[in-house]
Structure 1
């Protein structure tokens, strides 16, 4: 089981994977349920569609700049028109821009939309973690805790524990925060993350 020290690393890995392998993403869904002739036609069409979406996504997000609203609008339009993994990645990238501009409601709406656009468990985990952080930033601790329950996979245990502890501490539950951070520190987390969680526990004393 791969363990992630932060969601940014996994976003980069997912983005590279989909950029390199977009043409293969839908193959498994179709095998066994389509006639040979229909499969060949669909495969050719889907390959072209995925390549086009991948190229447009990379072009738009590379040009995105906070001081150029038209570039943000272009990414938003792409995200709304592509109900697939590329649309989800675009929503994730654009939400980051909105967070930096302190437009948290817009960021939340984008992330919630992005969750509906992908079935990739790792990408869903990243989006949910970002969403929980923003909810916590908005003093919505209960909403953040609920969102964290949607993050699946042992590789995310420590990061989930970190955010969960912060949410519980914001509610005045010091023991709950300690328990969450302790669980994260005992997981297969990176040394740096374990040290940070231990420091947080020490600061509670």
Structure 2
């Protein structure tokens, strides 16, 4: 470290150092303060968005209880338009889709589910919407479109459920062998479908139907 002979020399050295470095120090400090203020502002904005979205979803839930589909759809539409970056928007879309199914409007249900699948911020809810959309498409007579929706590589948590849905659609299509394979895959999945016993019954029925068909064929021959 340099030793200065007098206090005056120390003061002059400090002044020179400040002239050389003061501007960058002030600029750096200002940027740091702006970054902190910006981060806090963004955090506040996110929290405000989540609170308002939560309030709107409470309205959706209330309308589910009292069966007011028009008000439910209105709240879900606002969630979709203004709070798409929150999971509440996807939840609202799923609720609106269920209300549309109850009203027999499968086209509207499909539209809501497709939005949740393609645009929702929550990945898990997106996979749930995809599975429900596959069933809706089958109910609309679009079984191949429903099967195409399931032609993805989902996380392990969804493999069992998707296998069950695939089996149901293949059974409806009349492809019994492929349905049996799908049901077996669902039961063998790391995470089984929500109701494994129901899937086992479907598998047993598909196998029995195949056996009966084989027996009929033998008798006919």
Tell me whether the two structures share a fold, i.e. TM-score over 0.5.
yes
Aligned to 2:166: 164
Q: Which runs of 5+ in 2 are unaligned?
A: 1-33, 209-221
**Deviating more after overlay: 108-117 vs 158-167:** 108-117
Counterparts of 1:191 and 1:50 in 2: how far apart (Å)?
31
CA deviation string 1:3-61 (max 9, x = no partner): xxxxxxxxxxxxxxxxxxxxxxxxxxxxxxx9222111111122112111111221233
Q: TM-score, normalised by structure 1?
A: 0.74
Distance 1:192 1:124, change over 3 A: closer
Aligned to 1:5: none
Compute the displacement of 1:180 (Å): 0.4
Aligned to 2:58: 58
Retained in 1: the 8 A contact 2:117–2:127?
no
Task: Kindly name which structure, 1 or 2, has the bigger radius of gyration based on alpha carbons.
Answer: 2
Q: TM-score, normalised by structure 2?
A: 0.69
- Structure number with the bigger relative contact order (C-alpha 8 A, sep ≥ 6) is 1
**Superposition pairs of residues 1-205 of structure 1, within 5 angstroms:** 35-64=35-64, 68-81=68-81, 82-84=83-85, 85-150=87-152, 152-189=154-191, 193-204=195-206, 205=208
CA deviation string 1:118-143 (max 9, x = no partner): 23221111111111111111121111
Q: Which runs of 5+ in 1 are unaligned?
A: 1-33
> In proportion to residue count, which structure has more helix?
2
Retained in 1: the 8 A contact 2:164–2:182?
yes
Distance 1:40 1:145, change over 3 A: same
Distance 1:141 1:152, change over 3 A: same
Distance 1:86 1:117, change over 3 A: farther
Retained in 2: the 8 A contact 1:80–1:87?
yes
Aligned to 2:213: none
Distance 1:67 1:61, change over 3 A: closer
Quote the RMSD (CA, aligned, Å): 2.3
Retained in 2: the 8 A contact 1:66–1:97?
no
Retained in 2: the 8 A contact 1:162–1:197?
yes
Aligned to 2:14: none
Counterparts of 1:106 and 1:60 in 2: how far apart (Å)?
17
CA deviation string 1:60-106 (max 9, x = no partner): 33134675354134224324423232222111101101101110000
Compute the displacement of 1:191 (Å): 8.8
